[in-house]
Amino acid sequence: MQNLPTIPNIFKLKPGTTGRKKNKERLVIFLFLLPAIVLFIIFVVYPIIQSIYYSLFNWKGFGPAVDFVGLDNFTNILKDRVFIIALRNVLFIIAFSLFLQLPLSLMLAVLVGRDLPGRVFFRVIFFMPYVLSEVIAALMWLFILNPDPERGFINAVIVFLGGEPQAWLGNTSLVMPAIFVALTWKYFGYHMLLFMTGLQNIPSEIEEAGRIDGANRFQNFFYITLPLLRSTIRTSVYLSVLGSIQQFIVVWIMTKGGPVNASETLATYMYRFGFVRFQLGYGSAVAIYMFLLCLMFSLIYQRLTRQPDYLSGY
Amino acid sequence: MITDELVVERHHPRARWRKFATRFFQYFILSIIVVIVFVPIVILVFGALKTRGEYLSHPYTVPIPPRWENITLILGNASYSFWPMMRNSVFVMLIVTALVVTVCSLAAFVFARMQFRGKGLAFNLFTLGLMFPINVAILPVYFVLRQIDLIDNLWGVIVVQTAFLLSGNIMILRGFFTAIPAELQEAAYIDGCTVVDFFLRILLPLARPALSTVAALTMIISWNDLLVPLVVLNNDKLWTLPLGTMQFQGQYGQDLSLVSAFVALSALPTIIFYIFAERQIVSGLTAGAIKG
pLDDT in tens, A241-269: 999 998 999 999 999 987 888 999 999 99
- Give me the pLDDT at residue B10, please: 55
For residues A247 and A180, give the distance between their C-alpha atoms in angstroms, rounded to a whole number: 11
CA gap B92, B103 in Å, rounded:
16
CA gyration radius, chain B: 25
Cis peptide before A259 (omega within 30 of 0): yes
Q: Nearest Cα to B151, choosing from A296, A58, A61, A314? A: A61
Contact B192, A10 (CB under 8 A): no
pLDDT at residue A12 is higher than 70: no
Return the percent helix, strand and coil in chain B, to nearest 5: 80, 0, 20
What is the identity of the amino acid at A90? Answer: V
Neighbours of B232 (CB within 10 A): 27
CATH node for B81-291: 1.10.3720.10
Q: Does A239 touch chain B (CB under 8 A)?
A: yes
User: How open is the CA angle B257-A184-A230, to the nearest 5 degrees?
Assistant: 155
Q: Is the dihedral of CA B212, B218, B219, B221 positive or negative?
A: positive
In A62-136 the beta strands, taken as DSSP E runs, fall at: none
How buried is A11 (Cβ within 10 angstroms: 0-12 exposed, 13-18 middle, 19+ buried)? exposed
Taking CA–CA distances from A279, the nearest residue in chain B reads B139
Give the DSSP letter string of B23-51: HHHHHHHHHHHHHHHHHHHHHHHHHHTS-
B86 touches chain A (CB under 8 A): no
Cα separation, B211 vs B199, whole angstroms: 13
> Which A positions 208-227 lie with beta carbon below 8 A of chain B?
212
Nearest to A29 among B116, B129, B163 (CB): B116
Tell which of B134, B143, B183, B197 to mutate to test the A interface (max A CBs under 10 Å): B143
Quick check: A284 and A51 in contact, CB under 8 A?
Answer: yes
pLDDT of residue A227: 87
Q: Which helix (H) or strand (E) holds A3?
A: none
Residue A298 contacts B where some CB pair is shorter than 8 Å: yes
Residues 103-142 of A with CB under 8 A from B: 108, 111-113, 116, 122-129, 131-137, 139-142
Residue A264 CA: distances (Å) to CA of A80, A94, A246, A288, A297? 13, 14, 12, 18, 21
Chain A interface includes B223 (CB < 8 A):
yes
Could you say which of A42, A108, A139 has the minimum Cβ distance to residue B249? A139
Strand, coil or helix: B292: coil
**Other Cβ atoms within 10 Å of A303 Cβ, number:** 8
Of B104, B164, B220, the CB nearest to A131: B220
Burial zone of B123 (CB within 10 Å; 0-12 exposed, 13-18 middle, 19+ buried): middle
CB A191 within 8 A of CB A168: no
pLDDT at residue B11, rounded to an integer: 61
Across chain A, what does the average pLDDT equal? 85
Can you give the C-alpha Rg of chain A in angstroms? 27
Is A275 in Cβ contact with B231 (below 8 Å)? yes
Q: What are phi and psi of A117, to 5 degrees?
A: -60, 130
The pLDDT-based confidence of A16 (bands split at 50, 70, 90) is very low
Q: What single-letter amino acid sits at A70?
A: G
Chain A interface mutation, best of B136, B254, B265, B274, highest count of A Cβ atoms under 10 Å: B136
Q: With the C-alpha atoms ordered A191, A197, A200, A202, is the resulting torsion angle positive or negative?
A: negative
Q: How far is B191 from chain A (nearest CA, A)?
A: 8
Q: Please judge whether A131 and B270 are an interchain contact, meaning their C-beta atoms are less than 8 angstroms apart.
A: yes
Angle between the N-to-C axes of helices A153-160 and A134-144, in degrees from 0 to 180, rounded to the nearest 10: 30
Contact A14 B190 (CB under 8 A): yes
Domain range annotation of chain A: 4-54, 81-304
Cβ distance of B190 and A13 shorter than 8 Å = yes
Across the A:B interface, residue pairs with CB atoms under 8 Å apart total: 245
Q: Which of A44, A130, A217 to mutate to test the interface with B (most CBs of B within 10 A)?
A: A44
Q: What's A262's DSSP letter? A: T
DSSP H or E segment with residue A299? helix A280-304
Residues 6 or more apart whose Cβ sits within 8 Å of residue A181? A141
Tell me the mean pLDDT in the region A224-233: 87
User: Alpha-carbon distance A179 to A244, whole Å?
Assistant: 12
Cβ <8 Å between A287 and B141: no
Among chain B residues, CA nearest to A295: B131
CATH, domain range A81-304 = 1.10.3720.10
Measured distance between the N- and C-terminal CA atoms of chain A, rounded to whole angstroms: 45
Q: Which of A145-149, A211-215, A293-297 has the lowest mean pLDDT?
A: A211-215
- pLDDT greater than 60 at residue A307: no
Instruction: Indicate the domain borders of chain B.
Output: 2-72, 81-291
Q: Which residues of B touch A144 (CB under 8 A)?
A: 39-40, 43
The span from the CA of B192 to the CA of B186, in Å, is: 10
CA–CA distance, A141 with A132 (Å, rounded to integer): 13
Task: Give the H/E segment covering residue B101.
Answer: helix B82-113
Residues of A in contact with B47 (CB under 8 A): 143
Query: Using an 8 Å Cβ cutoff, are B260 and B49 in contact?
Result: no
pLDDT on residue B39:
93
pLDDT tens per residue across all 292 residues of chain B? 444 445 445 567 788 888 888 888 889 999 999 999 999 999 999 988 888 888 877 778 888 788 888 888 889 888 888 999 999 999 999 999 999 999 999 999 999 988 888 888 888 888 888 888 888 889 889 989 998 999 999 999 999 999 999 998 998 899 888 888 888 888 888 888 888 888 898 889 988 888 988 999 899 999 999 999 999 999 989 999 999 999 998 888 788 889 999 999 999 999 999 998 888 888 877 776 654 4
Establish if A156 touches chain B: CB-CB under 8 angstroms. yes
pTM: 0.87
Give the closest-approach CA distance of A125 to chain B in angstroms. Answer: 7
Is ipTM beyond 0.95? Answer: no
Q: Nearest CA of chain A to the CA of B225: how many Å? A: 7
Q: Which residues 89-148 of chain B have a CB within 8 Å of chain A? A: 102-104, 106-107, 109-110, 114, 116, 122, 125-126, 129, 131-133, 135-144
**pLDDT at position A184, please?**
95
CA of B103: which chain A residue's CA is closest?
A36
Ramachandran angles phi, psi of A209, nearest 5°? -60, -40
Task: Yes or no: say if A47 and B223 are a contact pair by the CB < 8 Å rule.
Answer: no
Give the one of A32, A135, A295 whose C-beta lies nearest to B246's C-beta.
Answer: A135
Contact list in A for residue B192 (CB cut-off 8 A) is: 13
Long-range contacts of residues A277-280, Cβ cutoff 8 Å, at least 24 apart: A278/A60, A278/A61, A279/A58, A279/A59, A279/A60, A280/A54, A280/A59, A280/A60, A280/A61, A280/B139, A280/B143
Cα gap A204→B85, rounded to integer Å: 49
For testing contact with chain A, the best of B18, B30, B270 (most A CBs within 10 A): B30
List of chain A residues whose C-beta atoms are within 8 Å of the C-beta of residue B33: 108, 126
Cis geometry, peptide bond prior to residue B65 (ω within 30 degrees of 0): yes
Does the beta carbon of B160 lie under 8 angstroms from any beta carbon of chain A? yes
B33-54 burial: b if 16+ Cβ within 10 Å, else e: beeebebbbebbbbbbbbeeeb
